[in-house]
Amino acid sequence: MSLHLSLLSLFILIMRALSFPPLFFPPKILNPFSFCNPKSMASFKPSIPLTSDSAASVPSSRTSGEVHVIMGPMFAGKTTALLRRIKSEGNNGRNVAMIKSSKDTRYAIDSVVTHDGAKFPCWALSDLSSFRQNFGGEAYEKLDVIGIDEAQFFEDLYDFCCMAADHDGKTIIVAGLDGDYLRRSFGSVLEIIPLADTVTKLTARCELCGKRAFFTLRKTEETRTELIAGADVYMPVCRQHYVNGQVLVKAARTVVESHKFKSDTFPEVAAVV
């Protein structure tokens, strides 16, 4: 019985200690490079997080991260807006890095390039979880702002944004398509809306009437969700022209399919006759 009691007391003591972590640990792990000389801190790896008192002396911009989402149809200027923001952060003395999907090789492998030709060097990756390792742990610690272009292609977008913004104190600026050519959610872009500080939905100009365009119309009969192409395959359209365009594309697809069917079956028919 006494053994049981002492075990119970020990258990309660442990549970009490665990139930008051704020007395011993701050809510966020701070980046030591944000307020210390990197040279003197080169070999410093804090074994326990820093206290809340020291957090108060750290500039607020480094105590917690941010997530900003720029979305919209193709040709809405999402990459241009992302580049403008990243360049502005860089000009303000913040360390910046840009990531894009290695799936998108339309303009360049190592640069983010807008439809009108503006460029910025970037890391082309197949997933975001490999960024830290590729970029280098120490260099990552010093980063303030990370831009992610064509974010719909990254399956681990949600986890990366949580880790980088919540735990690593980074500002993440994400640009990507919210919907595919069928106006269905594309990749994980919509999943990070609940994580975001701000969400901006940009619009393009309808290629057919010049009104604001919210959607991307695929002009061909191709049905794969991921078909990376430009103005030869896609165009921005308003709601009315999206609906009209879908009808036309469906009709064209039916004609093409029936034509294919006829040419496939014709030799057999001929053989039977």
Look at the alpha carbons of 8, 26, 146, 150 in this order and tell me if their dihedral is positive or negative: positive
In whole angstroms, what is the distance from residue 1 CA to residue 25 CA?
Answer: 36
Smallest separation (angstroms) from Zn ion to the CB of 249: 15
Smallest separation (angstroms) from Zn ion to the CB of 206: 3
In whole angstroms, what is the distance from residue 235 CA to residue 208 CA?
Answer: 9
Smallest separation (angstroms) from Zn ion to the CB of 132: 44
Q: Are 158 and 189 in contact (CB under 8 A)?
A: no
In whole angstroms, what is the distance from residue 103 CA to residue 109 CA?
Answer: 9
Q: Are 155 and 103 in contact (CB under 8 A)?
A: no
When the beta carbons of 73 and 187 are compared against Zn ion, the nearer one is 73
Pick the catalytic residue: 150, 155, 221, 268? 150
When the beta carbons of 115 and 211 are compared against Zn ion, the nearer one is 211
Using the 8-state DSSP alphabet, how is residue 167 labeled?
I
Indicate the helix (H) or strand (E) that contains 2.
helix 2-19
In whole angstroms, what is the distance from residue 20 CA to residue 87 CA?
Answer: 43
How many angstroms from the chain centroid is the CA of residue 206? Answer: 26
Q: Are 115 and 205 in contact (CB under 8 A)?
A: no
Residue 150 designated active-site: yes
Residue 83, token pair as written in the block: 């580049």
Helix, strand, or coil (residue 40): coil
Smallest separation (angstroms) from Zn ion to the CB of 39: 59
When the beta carbons of 169 and 245 are compared against Zn ion, the nearer one is 245
Which residue type occupies 148? I
| Residue numbers at the binding site for Zn ion (CB under 5 A) | 206, 208-209, 211, 238, 241
Closest CA to 147 of 215, 104, 89, 218: 89
Smallest separation (angstroms) from Zn ion to the CB of 65: 39
When the beta carbons of 63 and 246 are compared against Zn ion, the nearer one is 246
When the beta carbons of 131 and 242 are compared against Zn ion, the nearer one is 242
Indicate which residues carry an active-site annotation. Answer: 150
